Structure formats: C-alpha cells, structure tokens
Structure 1
Amino acid sequence: MTRTLIRGGHVLTMDPTLGDLPTGDVLVEDGVIAAVAPSLEVSDAEVIDAAGHLVLPGLVDTHRHTWQSLVRGICGDWTLGDYYFGIRLGISPAFTADDVRLGNRLGALDALNAGVTTLLDFSHCNNTPEHSDGAVQGLLDTGIRAAFCYGFFESSPEATRFGDHSARLKDFHRIADTYFTSDGLLTLGVSLSELFGLPWDRTVAELAAARERRALIVNHTGCVWGSVLTGGVGELDALGLLGPDMVHVHCNTLDDAEWDALARSGGKVSISVETELNMGMGRPVFARCRRHGLAPTLSADVISLNSGDLWHEMRFGLGFTRWEATEAVNLANAMPETVTTSAKEALGWSTVNAADALGLGDRIGSLTPGKRADLQLVGGTGIEQHPRIDPYATLVFQTTTADVRTVLVDGRVVKRDGLLTGVDLPRLAVEADTAAQAVLGRVHAAGHTLPGTPAGAFEALEPIARGWHAEAVRAVEGRASS
C-alpha cells in the first residue's frame, strides 16, 4: 500500500458535512482519500508538509480545446467569426498528428501546473485516425484526469482522410475500443458537431454512438446570435434526445423555453467567461442558471485566446455575476447592500459543480474520504498569499499559477514545490515554439490569411444551416404525427 500524509494545512474540503479545518491532515492510500481530520497519527507514509498552505480539491475544467495550446494567444484580437474561419478552417488543417499530441501534452501540463487536475478535452482536430490517437496520447503522457470527447468536425477536405461521416463514427468506436476498455484516468466522451452545421441525421448518429458507449456528451449550444447554428435545444427536446449526460457550453442565446428544456433534462452548463466577453457572444449565463436551478461550471475554452488556468475564469466570472446582479440597482441611482454570490460559491463552480457535470461527482470534486485523491496545495511564501484572512477570497482574488505549489492526481504527485515533476520545461518550450512556427508556415503556404473572416461568410452559411434545420423540424413533426 502506498500512503501519503498531507499534514498541517488549512483544509477546504468542499464537502458540506466535513466543512473546513483551519489545521488538518489528509491521508491518501493507493490513490484514495482515506481520512481527513484535524490530526492523524500515521506511520509508514510519505509526509507532505502543508503548513502555511491551503489544501483543496483539484480544479475541474468542463470544456477546453486543449490542442490549441500550440497556438496560444493567436486570436487575442479576433471575433468569434475570425476564430471559426481562422482556427477551424485555417489552422486546424495545418496541424499534423504529432502537433495534436504535442498540443494536448502542453495544454494538459499547463492545466496541471495551475491546479486543474481534470479537464473535458473538446477534441475537434481529429483530421485523421492518427490525429485521434495523438490527441489521446498527449493526455496520457501527462497523468492528468480527463474526459476525452471525440469530435467529428470537418476542418477542410484536403485535411481529412475520412471519406464520409460513417468513417468518422467508425474511428470513434476504434478509439473507444483501443483506449477505454478499462477504468483509468481518461473517460470517454463525444463532442457533437455544431447542430445544423451538418445534416440532422448525422447529429442523431453522433448521439446514438455516444450513448451506445455510455460516453459523456458535450455541445456548443446557443452561442451564435441571429442564426440557427448551434441552436437545436427545442428539436433535441422534442425528439427526446436531451439528457443528464450532456454538457451544454455557452448557452448565451437560449430563451426561457430552451432553458426549461435543459433543466428538465438534467443537462449541465459550462460557462467560458473570457471567451464570451471577448468574442462578442453575450452575457455569461450565471443568472439564467440560477433562475432555472442549474449549477454553473467554468471552462478555459479556446487556449488560443485564454489562460490555461481557472483562477482567471473564477475571477472574471464572479466579477461579472456580481455586476450583473447590481446593474439595475446602479441604474436606479443606488448602491447594493450585499453581494449576491460568494467567493466560496465561485470555487464550487470549478470543484463540486464541475465534477458532477462530468459524471465524476462520486470520484472527485471534494476532499471526501473514499474519493480519488485529486488535490492541490496553494500558498506558501507567495507575497500575494499573506495575510490570508478569508481563504476563499485569497483563492479567487489573489491566487496565480505560481501559488499552486503541489498537485496530486489519483494520489500521485505531478507538481512538487512549484515544479512539475518529470518534465523538461525548457525542452518542451522549444518543441512548442518550433511546432507552432511550422504550423503557421503551413497555413501561409496554403494561402490562408489570418484571422480571415471572409466578407459575407455567415450570410453564405446560413441558408445551408437553415436547410439542415428544416430536416430536424420534419423529424419533430414526424414524431408528433406518429
């Protein structure tokens, strides 16, 4: 038996029964949290001194395009349209299978470094079977916990070796059989193609394949204003295709009927605050979640724009939701008397809420005995960590990646005393820089201009999307008539 004792930290369990321990110990045995108490008498265990640190669950990201870590920051001044045509149609075809593997490895290590121990990898650069393998291997190389959500997306005809949609479905089943036959750190998921971005029967086939494998399902939902693209909640609901196994990302454009449908289905919501505010997608939907009884979660989303840590997302999200709650008061020429959302609630977005969204609430998300030992030590001597009067406020408002000192996944130390273990960071940086330059060179050679939103592009796409939307409507009408 392997035993680790994390001793003398300020333990924030995120378990309402256990609460917080201003001074406490956490015992880990064979990757499982065995005990949490003010003091534990334990022999034959490795001891990690947590004095002066906060001990808390690892963070959980519910939607990250991890492969884009290799083009970090490229779309800092892009709209959502620029992103679609620049990344999805320009840069994705230029990625080799090795690039996808490196991007996922780099992105997963970036997450671990920031205390993100679990992520939903929305993997939509699977241009060939080798790309699919590379994406999985990049995650496996790092020891992160992840839901690998296979994307069926087309980038461009010249980039893919899949002859038709059925070949992509076949590749998904190959990935499931190759990597997901036993219980491990990776769980299986499906990233749906954008609804009405392809014929409706293909969406139904993707959902069927996911549910045949009992896979998690993630979808970009309601994030394009004035378009049927990424809609579909009403049609999915009418056909009985919504469910508690679905994570709906963004949801900015949904109306009350669609929110009611999500709530009835038990669906989960992932909010990408930085993306939504910076790319013109509308208000992050914290208030809508509250109104309809849904638990918000957070995601770093496009690493080609955003930071790979969730401290930023918490900070942005908490600031936004407090502003939104007080806007009407301010416009009435008054000041609020209380805040509507606490820092502890914000931490819950990326711990207990997010673990539940990924179907892993019985395994991670809180420091509860019996759960897997995914946890982090934050603090130490960092100047921004002192004095620590309110630990939740310190985490949400003061913490940076540098303050994440030690990280465990499944009981294994992946970061110790501020350094990732077993990682040659200078070499990794050179590999990433070299690969990124090669990718951009291929983009240029192919004649693509970045960011590259063609004039009238969305107007040209909309009739096609509406045609495929009509197929869904006919399917709903057919179900009703039968």
Structure 2
Amino acid sequence: MARTLIRGGHVLTMDPALGDLATGDVLVSDGVIEAVAPSLPADDAEVIDATGHLVLPGLIDTHRHTWQSLARGICGDWTLGDYYFGIRLAISPAFTADDVRLGNRLGGLDALNAGVTTLLDFSHCNNTPDHSDGAVLGLQDAGVRAAFCYGFFESSPEASRFGEHDARIADFHRIADTWFPTDDGLLTLGVSLSELFGLPWDRTVAELAAARERRALIVNHTGCVWGSVLTGGIVELDAAGLLGPDIVHVHCNTLDDAEWEALVRSDGKVSISVETELNMGMGRPVFERCRRHGLAPTLSADVISLNSGDLWHEMRFGLGLTRWEATEAVNRAGAMPERVTTLAKEALTWTTVNAADALGLGDRIGSLTPGKRADLQLVGGGALEQHPRIDPYATLVFQTTAADVATVLVDGRVVKRDGALVGVDLPRLTVEADTAADAILGRVRDAGRELPGTPPGAFEALEPVARGFHAEAEKAVG
C-alpha cells in the first residue's frame, strides 16, 4: 500500500469526536486516512513535513459551472439577465467539445490550487454527445473529485445535435453506462435539472426519473428570479412527491416560508453562491433563512465566468453577511451588538462537513476521520499573511487565499506540493486557455452576436411561456 505521513502540523479534523491537535500527525494508507494522533510512527511511509502549517480537509464546492473557466471574468459587470443571454445563448453555442474538456481541466486545476478537492460540476454545455464526453474527460484530466451533474439545457437549436428531449435523456444514460459503471470512484454521477417552467412539466419529471433510475445526485437552480415563476416549482414538486434529500437547491433567494418548509420536509440541501447573488441582483443570500428552518448551508463558486474558484472568498463574504444580518436590527435601534453570532469555525463547516453531506459523500470526505478518503490540504507555512496565527479558524477564513495553500492531496495522491500543482505545465496551460478563449469569442462575433446582448424586457418576454408551463404543472399535480 502507498503510505504517507503528514507530520507535525496543527490538525483541524472537523470531526467533533477527534477535535483539533495543536501538533499532530495524519497517516494515509492506500488513499484512506488510517490514523490521526499527536505522534505516529513513519515506518515505510513518505513523510510530508507539516510543521508550521494548518492541516485540514479539502474544501467542497456544491455548485460550479466549471466549463465557464474559459470565459473567466467576462460577467464582471453583467446582471443575471445578461448572463443568461450572453453566456447561455451566445457563448455556450460557441464552445467546441475540446473547449469543454479544456475548460473543465482548467477549472478543476484552479479548484485544486485553492484547496478545493471536490466539486459539484453543474455541467450544462452538453451541446452534443462529444461535449458530454469532453466534460467528463476534463474532470478526469484535472484529477479533482467531482459529482459530474449532467445538464439537459438546450443552448440553441443550431448548437445542439440532440433535437428531442428524449435524445438528451438517452445521452445521459449513455454517459452513465460509459463513465460511471460504479459509484466509488473520484467522479460520481449527477443530474443538473433544466430550469423549472423553462420547459414542459413532463420533461422535468422525465429528468428526475432518469436521475433516480441511476441513483444520481440532483441539483437545481431554485428561486433566483424575482417576479417570475422561472426557477420556482417547489410547491409543484412537493405536491407531486418529487422533492427529496438527493436534491441540492441552489440560491433559494425568492422562496417563501411554505417553500422553505417543503425543503425541510424533504431534507433538501441548500447551496449559497454569495458572490453571484450579491453581484447579479439575485437578492440576499439565505444564511438566515437556513438558520431559521434548521437547514445546513453550503457554499458554491457558481459561475466562474464571474467569480474566483477560491472558496476562501465565499466563506469570507458569507460570514460577513451573516454577521451583518444578525446586527442590522440592533444597529437600527441605535445600539451595538455584544457578541458575534456566527463563528469562523462554523463558516468552515459550510465547505467541509455540510457540503460533504449535501453531495451524499459524508461517509467518504468532509473531515479527517479515520476510514474516510484522504482529501486534505496544508495551509500556511511561511506565508506573511499567515503570521502570527493566533486563531487558526480566523486565519483560514479571513487571511487565506489560494496562494497560501501549500500542499493538497486527493484520495491520498499529492496534486499540489510546496505551492505548485504536480505534473502541470502551467505556462502551456495558460496559453492554451487564452487561445481557446480568443477562438470562442471570435465564433461569437462571427455568429453576429453582441455581448451581453440582453434584449430590453428580457425576462418579461420569457414570462408568458413560463407561465404556460407553470399552469400545465399545476394541472398535472392537481
């Protein structure tokens, strides 16, 4: 067996039964955490010196459009409407299958570089079967752990080779048969639902049925368009008995109390994309709503065409927002709070134990518990902003960036060592990414599209069709 001993670090296990070790060792055997203790014998193990570092689980992102890594930053000044018309209807059709593979490889490596060892890959640039294969291969190339969530979204008729929705369902089953013969590898299978009421109700039901036939994780954009039935559907899914603990609900900004109660009854999971929601006009991130209804929040980087792939940013923004929410009424009453209501350690649970449970992987990852897979990271060392390190959780949430992530292991394999990704020709990769992005944007221009290209009254124009599908759903579920 391959054995690795991470020696002498400040170990934050995120396991309440084990707690933290101011100085401790983590022994990894054949990809599994074998032991965590103040001191362990090295025997025949490779030793990684963790002196001066924090040792903690790899972070987990519960919703990322990884393919959009090749459009990094293009959405910096876009609304959600701009994103829909610019990314989904203009840029997505211009992606080739090779672009999707490169985007997923680039995005997976970007995640690993920042200590994010697991992604929920919301993959909705599957314009052809080759695109679907490219998305899986890109994640494999990167070596990241991921739930590959197959998206059925139709970007445009000219970009798709599928035609009928049934053909997309068939391609999902092909992907399941080809790439996911078991569910115990680095990549696990999922489904990204098309936006509810963006298509006829029977197609949503068919997508859910296909996912559950394969025991796949399900992710859905839920409640993120104000004044519209688009991305709603919680009431109808609840009435039809289609909600469940296997669904990750992303955003949830517009949900009312009855919809939250339906999520609670179903043991649904919630993913909060703090930067996207604050920057694209989607409303207040739902930390307080989760607290009120007893749901465990998780975090996601979401659209890499806007956000960093660095979950340290999401934690920092999220923690600041939760503390502001808790003090706003106190401040308006002319007073100051006596204590903070959410601790830095709690923010770290959003991206570790909570996120592992949301992905159905709580028995494999999320804490440094013996018997779990060895997804972990070493943070700090001699980095200037890491010293002095008085409170390790505060250091992680408030002082850490991807540059402070020194070493990363996935399934016991070292993928980043001493600040550099292992086996990656970074200059070549960045040139490939720049060249591919230029070609994609060239094809967008050749197609006569302007970016973001949002028509006036865009959502209003979509609403009559969406309301028709909504009425159909209401009739179907009584």
Q: TM-score, normalised by structure 2?
A: 0.99
Shift of 1:41: 1.6
CA distance, structure 1, for counterparts of residue 438 and residue 296 of structure 2:
40
Code of the aligned partner of 2:84: Y
1:270 aligns with 2:274: no
Give the secondary structure class of the aligned counterpart of 1:17. coil
Give the secondary structure class of the aligned counterpart of 1:86. helix
1:424 aligns with 2:457: no
Aligned residue in 1 for 2:11? 11
Shift of 1:346: 0.1
Code of the aligned partner of 1:196: F
Code of the aligned partner of 2:198: G
Shift of 1:42: 2.7
Aligned residue in 1 for 2:390? 389
Aligned residue in 1 for 2:462? 461
Q: Deviations over 1:54-113 (max 9, x none)?
A: 000000000000000001000100000000000000100000000000000000000000
Q: Deviations over 1:349-372 (max 9, x none)?
A: 000000000000000000000000
Shift of 1:36: 0.1
Question: Any residues of structure 2 matched to 1:62-101 within 5 Å, and which?
Answer: 62-101=62-101
CA distance, structure 2, for counterparts of residue 457 and residue 286 of structure 1:
29
Give the secondary structure class of the aligned counterpart of 1:85. helix
Q: Deviations over 1:185-211 (max 9, x none)?
A: 000000000000000000000000000
CA distance, structure 1, for counterparts of residue 129 and residue 95 of structure 2:
13
1:187 aligns with 2:198: no
CA distance, structure 2, for counterparts of residue 269 and residue 296 of structure 1:
6
Give the secondary structure class of the aligned counterpart of 1:187. strand
Aligned length: 477
CA distance, structure 1, for counterparts of residue 131 and residue 353 of structure 2:
32
Code of the aligned partner of 2:93: P
CA distance, structure 2, for counterparts of residue 457 and residue 16 of structure 1:
49
Shift of 1:33: 0.1
CA distance, structure 2, for counterparts of residue 136 and residue 198 of structure 1:
26
Aligned residue in 2 for 1:133? 133
Q: Deviations over 1:202-222 (max 9, x none)?
A: 000000000000000000000
Give the secondary structure class of the aligned counterpart of 1:157. coil
CA distance, structure 2, for counterparts of residue 417 and residue 459 of structure 1:
52
CA distance, structure 2, for counterparts of residue 448 and residue 371 of structure 1:
49
Shift of 1:44: 0.3
Q: Deviations over 1:119-177 (max 9, x none)?
A: 00000000000000000000001111000000000000100000200000000000000
Q: Deviations over 1:401-456 (max 9, x none)?
A: 01000000000000000000000000000000000000000001111111111012
Runs of at least 4 residues of structure 1 off by over 2 A? none
Aligned residue in 2 for 1:174? 174
Code of the aligned partner of 1:362: D
CA distance, structure 2, for counterparts of residue 232 and residue 357 of structure 1:
20
Question: Any residues of structure 2 matched to 1:165-314 within 5 Å, and which?
Answer: 165-182=165-182, 183-314=184-315
| Root mean square deviation, CA, Å | 0.4
Shift of 1:235: 0.3
Aligned residue in 2 for 1:480? none
1:44 aligns with 2:39: no
Code of the aligned partner of 1:56: L
Shift of 1:464: 0.2
Give the secondary structure class of the aligned counterpart of 2:394. helix
Question: Any residues of structure 2 matched to 1:148-167 within 5 Å, and which?
Answer: 148-167=148-167
CA distance, structure 2, for counterparts of residue 409 and residue 97 of structure 1:
26
Q: Deviations over 1:198-252 (max 9, x none)?
A: 0000000000000000000000000000000000000000000000000000000
CA distance, structure 1, for counterparts of residue 92 and residue 319 of structure 2:
33
Q: TM-score, normalised by structure 1?
A: 0.99
Aligned residue in 1 for 2:413? 412
Aligned residue in 2 for 1:54? 54
Aligned residue in 2 for 1:30? 30
1:368 aligns with 2:394: no
Q: Identity over the aligned pairs, expressed in percent?
A: 87
CA distance, structure 2, for counterparts of residue 453 and residue 39 of structure 1:
60
CA contact (8 A) 2:13 2:367 kept: yes
CA contact (8 A) 2:157 2:163 kept: no
Aligned residue in 1 for 2:114? 114
Shift of 1:475: 1.1
Shift of 1:331: 0.6
Give the secondary structure class of the aligned counterpart of 2:130. helix
CA distance, structure 2, for counterparts of residue 356 and residue 255 of structure 1:
24
CA distance, structure 1, for counterparts of residue 307 and residue 136 of structure 2:
22
CA distance, structure 2, for counterparts of residue 341 and residue 329 of structure 1:
16
Aligned residue in 2 for 1:444? 445
Give the secondary structure class of the aligned counterpart of 2:142. coil
CA contact (8 A) 2:75 2:306 kept: yes
CA contact (8 A) 2:111 2:309 kept: yes
Range with bigger deviation, 212-221 or 443-452: 443-452
CA distance, structure 2, for counterparts of residue 88 and residue 337 of structure 1:
46
Structure 2 gap ranges (5+): none
Code of the aligned partner of 2:358: A
